Structure 1
Amino acid sequence: MSSPTETVRRPRRTAPRVLQTVLTAAAGTLLVALTLVTCIDVVARYWFNAPLSGAYELTEIFLASLIFLALPLTTARNEHVEVDLLDAAAGSRIARIVRPVTGLLSAGVLAIFAWRLWEHAARLAEDGAVTDSLSIPLAPVGFLAAGACAISALAAALNALRP
């Protein structure tokens, strides 16, 4: 039993941990919203012959957002799909040398994606691009994708440099 003078230690709220919590909560919320929109659309379409207006657009936006919100989480946890042909052929020593190089290469590719997506989102914002039926602005989705790729690039670089 602990004495009243002892303090209970809680895990520190570091920026990566807070970011992980926010991204996980946002992705979970989007997954629930995507499921609800799909269920409502299917029920309304087949039982009442009245499909949910804009369901296709909402599904597209929710799915794209969900993928990009999950990208930094997947990258930070090293949970991307990998093909380890080099490990089997070359052995563990070479794999240990190549792994940081491929990690930094992945970080570079993600950084380029972030840059290009940011430019594209800026053009969408400048043009005032919206979806066809619901007039939802497209630029925020582009900026979300760019930010997620930037965070993923940082996570990939940190993973590559970690011993």
Structure 2
Amino acid sequence: MDVVTKKARSLILDRATLALAAVAGLCLVGTVVLVCVAVLLRYFANAPILGVNEIVQLGGVAMVMMAMPWCTERNAHVRADVFDPFIGHWGRLGGDVMSRAISIFVLSVLVMRSWDKMLDAREFGDATNMLALPIWPFYGLMALGLALTVAIFAIQIVLVLVSGKEFE
């Protein structure tokens, strides 16, 4: 990708994806600290932390959904390029466009479903079993992370089609 494309992409998305990735990193550190403290308290002080599993599960949702746009923007997802030598430039270009288009479709469905679930959970006051933590904000984080990922995939399709080069 040329310098202009990289700068345009970074101006549009870098701040949003970096902010979400920073929050995801804080969730990861918080989860690690919480699990370490919970294990120490359970086995050495015989005083388990109630609801630690709920917190870890909700933190995991937040962590993954907020880190996904950052990974997508930097093309850091796991890829298998087994067929690349056999399909050539145009095959790789078509594969890049097709995989992103399929991802946009699937993730768009997930955005709509998580948005609807967020509204339902908020309306009915859905909460976790032990700590009664509201779960609608986590559906909102899912919708936000997925929607930003869809936008990134759409921009990547445009960049691939304009440049005529597949992503590396």
Q: TM-score range by the shorter chain?
A: 0.7 to 0.9
Counterpart Cα distance in 2 of 1:21 and 1:93: 32
- The number of residues matched between the two structures is 152
1:109 and 2:106 matched: yes
Percent of residue pairs bearing the same amino acid type: 26
Higher-RCO chain (CA-CA 8 Å, sequence separation at least 6): 2
Question: What is residue 60 of structure 2 aligned with on the other side?
Answer: 63
Counting only pairs closer than 5 Å after superposition, residues 10-29 of structure 1 correspond to structure 2 as 14-29=11-26
- Greater helix proportion: 2
Counterpart Cα distance in 1 of 2:130 and 2:95: 49
1:88 and 2:91 matched: no
TM-score (norm 2): 0.83
Of residues 47, 51, 76, the one that matches 2:48 is 51
Q: Are the counterparts in 1 of residues 111 and 143 from structure 2 also a CA contact under 8 Å?
A: yes
TM-score (norm 1): 0.86
Amino acid of the residue matched to residue 77 of structure 1?
R
Counterpart Cα distance in 1 of 2:89 and 2:12: 34
Counterpart Cα distance in 1 of 2:50 and 2:146: 31
1:141 and 2:122 matched: no
Counterpart Cα distance in 2 of 1:57 and 1:110: 25
Unaligned runs of 5+ in 2: 1-6, 164-168
Counterpart Cα distance in 1 of 2:153 and 2:143: 15
Amino acid of the residue matched to residue 51 of structure 1?
P
